[in-house]
Chain A
Amino acid sequence: MDVPAGPTAPSPPIAPLWRRPLARRTALAAGAAGAAGLALAALWRSGDLTHALEHVQDLTHGDSQPFTSQRVKVAHLLRRAGFGATAAELDRYAAMGASAATAAVLAYQTTSNAALEAQLPAVDPTGLARGAASASKLQSWWLQRMVGTARPLEEKMTLFWHGLLTSGLDKAGPGQLYVQNQLFRTHALGNFDDLLKAVSKDPAMMVYLDTETNRVGRPNENYARELMELFTTGIGHYTEDDVRESARAFTGWTLGRGNVRASLQSTFKPRLHDPGVKTFMGRSGAFNGDDIVDVLVPLRATAERLCTRLFTFFAYPNPERAIVQHLADTFQQKRYNVGAVVKEILGMDAFYAPKAYRAMPKSPAEYVAQMIRGLGHSGPAGLPAAAAALAQMGQVLFYPPNVAGWPGASSWINSSALLTRLNFANSVAGLASTGAAGKTLDQMLATFVDSNVTASTRSGLEQLASTHGNDPSTLLYFVLATPEYQLN
């Protein structure tokens, strides 16, 4: 492996320098010990600090008016509706202005992703065996999409759905999770009822929540319960009888008789379906699973819960009542179209309110993908190590901690995760070309932190720049290690 002589050795901006981290990083990650294993062990954690945060009405911000330019606005937009941007992308979007940039981000179907698709390694879901190698392959593949996509919102929505309509490698097969991931991409901004009907028959979900075992005379409650508790209305809007009855309605779909975790296609077998009358939420009929979805999706509780979740994902936690009502109205008037809701959110003044600025920590996926993307890398090199680091920060892609997804918010900030973040920035800064981010402090600050850091941090960075002016990677590390960069 060729190793350039010094930290500032000139280099082509992409592969060689970025590939170099692999060996060293992999070693460090291995030192980071049982790393993936322990991260994978963090199953079944609830995280209701998220809820605590959601109850905070007024966050006090030092920034009374952070959105000082179109460039800062589009940087915020691309952090929230995507995975960050290079300096060149920021320039391009800023020149369009925030509203045109928002329109472009939303209308991603008109944007070609051919350059990314050409770079991506081929994934054959039928050829993915269970195990760490397939997990790493899938994680790197997705991370590469986040880093290289020309359709940032499509990837961001895919992550949103993965965190809401969860399935994981602890039960489902890797090929199934690949298929599910593509399903989320297809339905990214589609109608919620269509997505739920598809997910109800999706092989990964059928294994993860046991619908593949659910058949007439032998109902299994798992999917029916989580569909209501987590995916639609939330707790308090259904009874234990509703759980039991709707479980019967979801019978009939099967993954066949072979290895259910390898099956990529579900089929409906009438003889496995319970054709009897079910009583669900006060109605009676010979319901099937689609009928249950058609009862749940129009409920106001579903609209409010999904819209709250979307707004929190994109803007800030604990949205005002009026915002939730407006979004829920939109959702119901637009036939449960998620794209219409997201369009509303990104177009609201609230999206650019001071309280929205840096209102939450970057999730590990956002942190890692934004850093790599911001530095102008787009190839697959280094991504397996990056995906492993992401796991150390608490987010194993395709392996959410439990069916409720990642608790997010403040749970991302803890001692071990923060040290991992800082060390990841260290290795990336030490090994990446700073070309795309610029070599001067001002350029780095503009690309990564909106040129908005505290006066004390700026003078500290200027000091470092004067003493380490010949070492842009050290300077880049300190920029990426700022508290400002930890937030989104």
Chain B
Amino acid sequence: MFTRRDFLRQGLLPVFSGSSVPAVFANGVYAAAADSPNAARSDRILVLVQLAGGNDGLNTVIPFQDGAYHDARPTIRQETGVLPLSPTLGLHPNLKFLKQSFDQGRLAIVQGVGYPNPNLSHFASMAIWESASVRGGIGEGWLGRYLAYLDQVGESPNHALEGVSAGPLVAPELRSSAPVTTLTSLRAFQLQPVGEHGTAVDAENPLMRFYGAFKANAPAPYGALLDTTLQEALRASHALQATDRSYQAKATYPAQSPIASSLKLVAETIVSGQGVRVAHVTLGGFDNHAREKAVHDRLLQDLDQALSAFMQDLQGQGVADRVLVMTWSEFGRRVNENGSAGTDHGTAAPMFLLGAPASGGLYGETPSLQSLDNGNLKFTTDFRSVYATVLQDYLQAPASDLLGGNFETLPLLKT
């Protein structure tokens, strides 16, 4: 029969396209990995926060002592209230929780993250980050490959909630031959009873039969996709319904904040104990070509407050020491502001790694504001080095196989 993996192999979602057939799927490698005595690794969770639209890195981690910064941004520069990280660098004034985390050694900031020959298209650059391939391309996401690896080495016992994407679409970096669950609400994540007035009708068995028969008879790829999706949805739903539903947030999440709601949903899913390994949430709105300051100030405040509640909640739930949060964005923005008090598409920007597993501090070289490439920063750290570090040192997965190459790792984590 047609499994999701078959579906992928048909070329619909090429797994490891190109020449790099991953050793991950060679017996030796995953056997070795499975043998490694590391009970703790199965408890480790990575939460990805996508800052969508291209976050202005220069107004996030600010070179506030550099005259060139102030010259380049006469209207959108942060003149006061920058939260100092070093004699020359400071966080945006609204990143108060992140500053506190930095001071407590729980925030690693990697500066100048990018890749060679930067692409200024949102979509091309997102695809590059999501696939961890500078050719961009299609197929599994880099964390989707990690999920497939877990599946291969037998670490997906529930086969349902290892990968969680908040919202009604699968985040591309989670796209996988292994199951990925999209969640908008735990309560709504179940098949509603059929039939009225107490004459409940079993819906699941007939539907499983219909979808299975359709898969066997009908149009690939959707017959297969519908069938596997139904099976995975019901499996995940059963798992969630069977868990302790007594989750009470141990923090007050900001109201009217989609990113806070998403993070709360992730916290609840983690606390349900269904073996979440990676989760993805998105905060959009960073494509600030015009009137940037007010919008960006608010976005960073939203981010900071949502992360603050999330980390406090995790602490209260007793799971904070096994959750690492990582932010990314498809690019930073142009050094010089444009004529609309905004910024156009740029290149390198900082990444945050937040949480108890992070080894706090500033990493990488601060990009120069003097030596630019067409008005854009030259990257100083390849994003795949950050990915490799997270995969290898935190998730303890074979980074070079999953990334299709060897990338230097950085000392970003307490290990």
Which of the listed residues B14, B183, B184, B223 has the most CB atoms from chain A within 10 Å of its own CB?
B184
Count of CB-CB pairs between chains A and B under 8 Å = 319
Contact A416 B265 (CB under 8 A): no
Contact B207 A422 (CB under 8 A): yes
A478 to B210, CA, bound (A): 9
Q: A423-B192, A460-B210 known; A41 and B282 CB under 8 Å?
A: yes
In the complex, A353 has a CB within 8 A of chain B: no
User: What size tier do the contact residues of chain B reach?
Assistant: 35 or more
Contact B214 A415 (CB under 8 A): no
Which residues, 81 to 118 on B, are CB-close (under 8 Å) to A?
none
Q: Contact mask B251-286 → A, CB, 8 Å, 1/0?
A: 000001011011001000000000000000111111
Contact B261 A41 (CB under 8 A): yes
A107 to B341, CA, bound (A): 47
In the complex, B381 has a CB within 8 A of chain A: no
Which residues, 4 to 39 on A, are CB-close (under 8 Å) to B?
6-7, 28, 31-35, 37-39
Chain A residues whose CB sits within 8 angstroms of the CB of B138 once the complex forms? 48-49, 51-52, 55
Contact B282 A42 (CB under 8 A): yes
Contact A49 B290 (CB under 8 A): no
Contact B219 A60 (CB under 8 A): yes
Q: Contact mask B167-202 → A, CB, 8 Å, 1/0?
A: 111111001000111111101111110111101010
Size of the chain A interface, CB-CB below 8 angstroms: 96
Other-chain residue from A35, A41, A51, A473 in contact with B166 (beta carbon distance below 8 A):
A41
Contact B289 A34 (CB under 8 A): no
Contact A483 B223 (CB under 8 A): yes
Shortest CB–CB separation between residue B153 and chain A, in angstroms? 23
Contact B188 A419 (CB under 8 A): yes
Contact A414 B12 (CB under 8 A): no
Contact B185 A35 (CB under 8 A): yes
Chain B residues whose CB sits within 8 angstroms of the CB of A301 once the complex forms? none
In the complex, B374 has a CB within 8 A of chain A: yes
Contact B233 A418 (CB under 8 A): yes
Contact A474 B195 (CB under 8 A): yes
Chain B residues whose CB sits within 8 angstroms of the CB of A43 once the complex forms? 52-53, 282-285
A468 to B291, CA, bound (A): 61
Which of the listed residues B14, B232, B289, B342 has the most CB atoms from chain A within 10 Å of its own CB?
B289
CB nearest neighbor in B for A430: B196
A218 to B289, CA, bound (A): 12
Q: A221-B338, A478-B206 known; A45 and B218 CB under 8 Å?
A: no
In the complex, B227 has a CB within 8 A of chain A: yes
A41 to B283, CA, bound (A): 6
Contact B220 A471 (CB under 8 A): no
Other-chain residue from A42, A63, A460 in contact with B218 (beta carbon distance below 8 A):
A63
Contact A222 B291 (CB under 8 A): no
Contact A416 B181 (CB under 8 A): yes
A32 to B185, CA, bound (A): 6
Q: Contact mask A387-415 → B, CB, 8 Å, 1/0?
A: 00001111000000111100100110111
A215 to B342, CA, bound (A): 13
14 sample A-B contacts, Cβ–Cβ < 8 Å, listed by A number: A6-B197, A43-B53, A43-B285, A48-B138, A213-B291, A220-B339, A229-B121, A394-B169, A402-B53, A413-B222, A415-B233, A468-B201, A478-B207, A478-B210
